[in-house]
Structure 1
Amino acid sequence: MEITFKGKPVALTGKPLRVGDAMPDFSLTDSSLATVRGAALAGVRVFLTVPSLDTDVCDAEVRRFNEEAAALPGVSVFAVSMDLPFAAARWCGAAGVKNVRVLSDYKDHSFGRATGTRLEELGLLTRAVFIVNQSGKIAYAEYVPEVADHPDYAAAIGCLKTQFV
């Protein structure tokens, strides 16, 4: 799988996830600086990995999932970036995002390594979407080939609507 950042090839750290794989465990930090363990999360989960909430595409992506996917019953949506928890909380407040929980991988980078989304040379996460079912298995995985592009919203939302709602 080739990923580019503004047209330049970049390498991902970790093994990419595929449909049917178990969602690996990880630790992230929430806006109150509490540790969130992946193993403690349950139900249908959507993980959006984005380079930074303060960029146009990331902003639009999280806002769209805030409106569409988060309105689906029983679905939890998480936006994961390397943004510091304080910056992520500020962004959510300014953007009016209340249905997506923002989490940071800044501390130990375990999410990026566990999901194959860490762009080591940039210190960021690549753009990806993972949908995890109630059993902890990957039901949908998309690594966006160009980090600056949008994910396939129709495919991700379609997966949620056909498999989980």
Structure 2
Amino acid sequence: MSNYTSFFLNAKGGLINLECIEISHSSFAEPFRYVRNDTSGITVRHEDGLDYVYDYQLLEIQRSNVTNDIDQAMNITFADMDDTFTKALQSITTTERPTFKYRSYRDDDLTEPMVIIQTLEITSMSKDASGYITFEAKAPELNSVKTGDTYTLDRFPLLRGTL
């Protein structure tokens, strides 16, 4: 039984699902790593076997789809009080989009994530007057290889019967 299933079906009442986000780009000195629901920050082990520190950040994560859907989309809102994240995003000069990874851990086992969503790209970002940043992270376009073929009745006369 997976950690995820075990957490929701067999966990004691006091366990917490720790939600972690990681935002990276080739122009960032280091990725931004935030945990939503542990005020002291945490050190977790990623799937590569290395330990990483996540700083606490008050943020809201809204997931658009179910966890196992390959067409993921998430909206994240948080307060960037010192503008560190905003300045990093504004310093991007390439067309490469920042990548977004989501991991979920049990608070009693930080050695293995229960859920990993790591194929998302940040597609839009806005900041309001009060300092709150909202950005959308989506899966890259799934059908990015297009043939460019136009199906016309001249080229494919048998299509006439299907119209």
Please indicate the TM-score interval, normalised by the length of the shorter structure: under 0.3
Q: Which has the higher helix share?
A: 1
Higher normalized contact order (CA 8 Å, seq sep 6+, divided by chain length)? 1
TM-score, structure 2 length as denominator? 0.24
Greater Cα radius of gyration, structure 1 or 2: 2
Q: Which has the higher strand share?
A: 2
